[in-house]
């Protein structure tokens, strides 16, 4: 990260990521193995000036060596916070980040799962402004900084617009939109140059979808928030990007109203022929968190098996 003093590394042990709980054959070793050499390949083609500090457009210390740190993990020495980290995507992100050498703090509502081995758990309601203040105080005290935030906490409801109550609509806004604002605002002041914030939008933040009035409104908003944050934080060398997952088999798709969806029929419309696994999204989060994406900010990375790529004309 910013300086070597801020980014101790080399003591992290790489371990295989756990398999995903939804049964898709997309464990870390299969979808994008940590040892494929992607980071080190980048290191070969990208000289030292692609290191984290260069994201700020400032001079990059030649000795950061971030992109060639493959053996120690692509996030070696970094402090990462994953909100919603007991949920499907957050847990996969936390697992992968631990295996890539990061020190990972997982937060969520009251425990309802086991934090990934190697990660630390702490409760945090992301809608609670004072709870964010307490958490950032602890991070400052314990680590002096935060290098990566993946803000994965979120909720969904699936209900026709005309049947959605104002209270439901507001609850989804509060949890998905306002909390994303709170998360960015809390995390950024702790980040040295090279910091990376990853927010969670959705393909429902790119296209409309029936039944998702409240949810889609938040996910479009997250994309806007992310772009503004990217612009305003670029000067500090902090990158802010959003992920737009397609249908990922996690608990969120068991939320109210989703039971009415014919998932088999939906899955047949996905060009790559399957729903995503949390690990698919975690691999994309790793890219955005790591120096491999040092020149990427203010953008969206769609992870959806191709469903938003366009229309497929039915063939006779």
Ligand X SMILES: NC(=O)c1ccc[n+]([C@@H]2O[C@H](COP(=O)([O-])OP(=O)(O)OC[C@H]3O[C@@H](n4cnc5c(N)ncnc54)[C@H](O)[C@@H]3O)[C@@H](O)[C@H]2O)c1
User: In angstroms, rounded to a whole number, what is the distance separating the alpha carbons of residues 263 and 265?
Assistant: 5
Tell me which residue has its CB nearest to ligand X.
87
User: In angstroms, rounded to a whole number, what is the distance separating the alpha carbons of residues 205 and 223?
Assistant: 7
65 with 51: CB under 8 angstroms?
Answer: yes
CB 212 to ligand X: min, Å:
10
**Any catalytic annotation for residue 295?**
no
CB 147 to ligand X: min, Å:
21
Q: Which of 215, 266, 287, 295 is catalytic?
A: 215
CB 312 to ligand X: min, Å:
21
Nearer to ligand X, 72 or 182 (CB): 182
Nearer to ligand X, 26 or 247 (CB): 247
Roughly what angle, to the nearest 10 degrees, separates helices 278-289 and 88-99? 50
25: nearest Cα among 285, 305, 282, 280: 280
Please give the torsion angle defined by the CA atoms of residues 71, 72, 73 and 78, in that order, rounded to the nearest 10 degrees: -160
Here the contacts of 248-251 (C-beta below 8 Å, separation 24 or greater) are 248/88, 248/89, 248/275, 248/276, 248/277, 248/278, 248/280, 248/281, 249/22, 249/23, 249/24, 249/88, 249/275, 249/276, 249/277, 249/278, 250/22, 250/87, 250/88, 250/89, 250/278, 251/87, 251/88
CB 244 to ligand X: min, Å:
7
Nearer to ligand X, 59 or 114 (CB): 114
Nearer to ligand X, 118 or 125 (CB): 125
Residues 6+ apart with CB under 8 A from 266: 247
**Hey, which residues does 123 pair with through a beta bridge?**
108
CB 172 to ligand X: min, Å:
10
What's the full length of the chain, in residues? 316
Nearer to ligand X, 153 or 213 (CB): 153
Could you list the residues that contact ligand X (CB under 6 A)? Answer: 84, 86-90, 108-109, 124-127, 152-156, 175, 200, 202, 245, 247-248, 250-253
Active-site residue set:
215
């Amino acid at each position: 990260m910013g300086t070597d003093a801020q980014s101790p590394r080399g003591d992290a042990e790489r371990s295989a990521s756990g398999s995903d709980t939804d049964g898709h054959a997309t464990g870390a070793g299969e979808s994008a193995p940590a040892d494929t050499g992607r980071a080190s390949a980048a290191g070969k083609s990208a000289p030292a000036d692609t290191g984290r500090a260069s994201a700020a457009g400032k001079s990059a210390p030649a000795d950061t060596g971030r992109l060639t740190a493959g053996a120690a993990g692509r996030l070696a020495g970094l402090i990462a916070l994953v909100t919603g980290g007991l949920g499907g995507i957050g847990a996969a992100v936390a697992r992968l980040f631990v295996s890539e050498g990061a020190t990972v703090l997982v937060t969520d509502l009251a425990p309802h799962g086991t934090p990934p081995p190697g990660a630390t758990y702490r409760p945090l309601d992301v809608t609670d402004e004072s709870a964010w203040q307490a958490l950032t105080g602890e991070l400052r005290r314990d680590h002096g900084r935060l290098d990566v935030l993946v803000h994965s906490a979120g909720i969904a409801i699936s209900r026709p617009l005309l049947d959605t109550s104002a209270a439901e609509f507001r609850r989804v806004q509060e949890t998905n939109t306002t909390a994303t604002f709170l998360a960015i605002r809390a995390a950024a002041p702790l980040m040295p140059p090279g910091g990376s914030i990853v927010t969670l939008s959705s393909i429902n933040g790119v296209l409309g979808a029936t039944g998702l009035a409240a949810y889609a409104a938040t996910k479009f908003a997250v994309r806007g928030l992310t772009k503004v944050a990217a612009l305003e934080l670029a000067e500090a060398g902090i990158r802010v990007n959003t992920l737009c997952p397609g249908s990922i088999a996690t608990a969120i798709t068991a939320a109210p109203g989703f039971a009415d969806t014919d998932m088999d029929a939906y899955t047949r419309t996905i060009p790559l022929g399957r729903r995503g696994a949390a690990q698919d999204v975690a691999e994309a989060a790793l890219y955005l968190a790591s120096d491999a994406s040092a020149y990427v900010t203010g953008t969206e990375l769609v992870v959806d098996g191709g469903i938003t790529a366009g229309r497929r004309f039915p063939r006779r």
